[in-house]
Structure 1
Amino acid sequence: MQRTRIVFSGSGGQGVITAAIILAEAAVIHEGMNATQSQSYGAAARGGATRSDIIISEDDIFFPGVTQPNILICLTQEAYTTFAPIVRPGGTLLTDTRFVTTTRKVDAKQIELPIYESVMEKIGKPIVFNISVLGALLGIHPIVRMESLLAVVKERVPKDFIQLNTDAMELGYKIAENYLQGGR
């Protein structure tokens, strides 16, 4: 596996940091890879800009920051406007259709998915939006196995919410699968 550099971006309260931590822990604890995860917040914890950098590699990682991600996930218009230019040429830019209108031309594959709308329609609880985004990411780029992500979710969420989060992750995966099969 080559080194994968990911930037999750959005706003406080969307679970951007939690999603990044779950992904990094899955890579390290359940896949035996090396990973780093770092984060930065805007002026406000809720509603302010949030960014988390993740690097996953089988080799050593010497610097935890990401300057040109292979994968950029933008969950707000502000995040998209700010970070779209940094995606690595040939990389992937993943956005949610409810919160982001893509307007820039970038040298990357731009994937726009209706994740939030699907979560609200099928699950009805926006709190698992971030977990559905993780599922969609996994459906597009199988960085780790689904079982690894679910194992971390089971360790991190209260017992009563494990099934809700499992359903959300599977929903995101199915959305990405449908996209890849041309169903958009």
Structure 2
Amino acid sequence: MTDTTESITDVGQVYTQSLATRIKAVPTLAWIAAAVGGFIGSIPLGLMMQYGNPEPLIALALPMMYGLSGPDLVSGWVIHQFHGIALAVMYVAAVQWQPLTEYAKTLRGAVALAVVVGVVSTALLSVLLMPLWLGAVGYPFTPTFPDLAMPEKLWSVLGHVIYALPATIGYALVMRR
């Protein structure tokens, strides 16, 4: 029994070390390409949020999430752009998971993964996290939890896919070399 337990532990440690090793091996240029892509992709998403939603998401919701008074459009945009970069960096780390590593290096894979990022980020951030966080900070337009309002969530998926495309494609182009 001890041998089996030790074997499972060893396999887990090897897998974890392997993933950590793969993350460390990502070229700096790939991290930069994804981060710049995340920054660029955040611009159309932010514009969609600013002009496509009746609530002041950029100017009021984002500053309030970080304890800032609002409305403050500049602070909201800085926070939004930071989120775009942070999510792009998380994408690079996530695609080091073995089933995705090679797929993320292709343009077809990058586009498909941008769709996945769009759906997953909308589900986790817009549908689940944002209503809870906004409610906790007293945002006056807090949606119900979970926020499944339509057609806003379809708009959110589209915006997050548009956001993700420069990050996923930038990463793929650097890693194809």
Same-fold call, TM > 0.5? no
The structure with the largest helix share of the pair is 2
Of structures 1 and 2, the one scoring higher in RCO (CA 8 A, sep 6+) is 2
Greater Rg over alpha carbons, structure:
2
Structure 1 length as normaliser, TM-score? 0.28
Structure 2 length as normaliser, TM-score? 0.28
The structure with the largest strand share of the pair is 1
